[in-house]
Amino acid sequence: MASATFLILVAAASLLASFAQADLQYGYYNTTCPGVEELVRTELEAIFADDNTLRAGLLRLHFHDCFVRGCDASLMLNSHNGTAEKHADPNLTVRGYEAIEAIKKVVEKACPLVVSCADIMAMAARDAINFVRTSCCY
Ligand SMILES: *[C@@H]1O[C@H](CO)[C@@H](O)[C@H](O)[C@H]1NC(C)=O
Ligand SMILES: *[C@@H]1O[C@H](CO)[C@@H](O)[C@H](O)[C@H]1NC(C)=O
Ligand SMILES: *[C@@H]1O[C@H](CO)[C@@H](O)[C@H](O)[C@H]1NC(C)=O
């Protein structure tokens, strides 16, 4: 079970890597929002302490977000008439919207209007994988 979960995570991560490859840069926010990576990581630690299953949930959220025109956080959008991406059938088991919103709120306080939801989602997915890798086993 654990190894099956791991394989799925690895497969999803490789797929994500092929989507994301082009524009990701380590330390992109070095000057515009220094410390954002630690901020996100600290928030995630609290979130995962509260709900361990969100590690996989946040990777999956990012994965689903990437389906429609790239990894742009469009999955986070709400609609007044139920036609937003998040209202499509596959959304029913996608979780973690609140986690991204909570992290975004904290990041906005530190650096208003600098770090996008899309980047927070990408950092969260990356860190979720890293936490699984470094703190093995349920
Ligand atoms: C940000 O800082 C890290 C650590 O000093 C460095 O490795 C990285 O190249 C920097 N990235 C940018 C875009 O400045
Ligand atoms: C839903 O709302 C959006 C934005 O207002 C609009 O573009 C779209 O046509 C609407 N779709 C339906 C099915 O009403
Ligand atoms: C997912 O879609 C269903 C059906 O349209 C909707 O009722 C539900 O609120 C959506 N979930 C989220 C998190 O938006």
How many domains does the chain divide into?
1
For residue 3, pLDDT beyond 70: no
Task: State the CATH number of the domain containing residue 17.
Answer: 1.10.520.10
The structure's pTM equals 0.74
Q: Can you give the residue range of the structural domain that contains 115? A: 2-136
Burial of 94: CB neighbours in 10 Å, binned 0-12, 13-18, 19+: middle
pLDDT tens column, 47-90: 999 998 999 999 999 999 998 889 999 999 988 998 888 888 87
Residue with tokens 């996608």: 94
Measured by CA distance, the residue closest to atom 14 of ligand 2 is: 81
SS3 53: coil
pLDDT (average), residues 108-119: 96
Q: CA 73, 89, 60: angle at the middle one, nearest 5?
A: 45
Ligand 1 atom nearest to CA at 31: 14
Q: Is 3 touching ligand 2 by the criterion CB < 6 Å? A: no
Q: What is the DSSP letter of 71?
A: S
Nearest to 125 by CA among 90, 91, 106, 100: 100
Known binder of ligand: residue 68?
Answer: yes
pLDDT score, position 69: 86
- Average pLDDT of the residues of the chain: 83
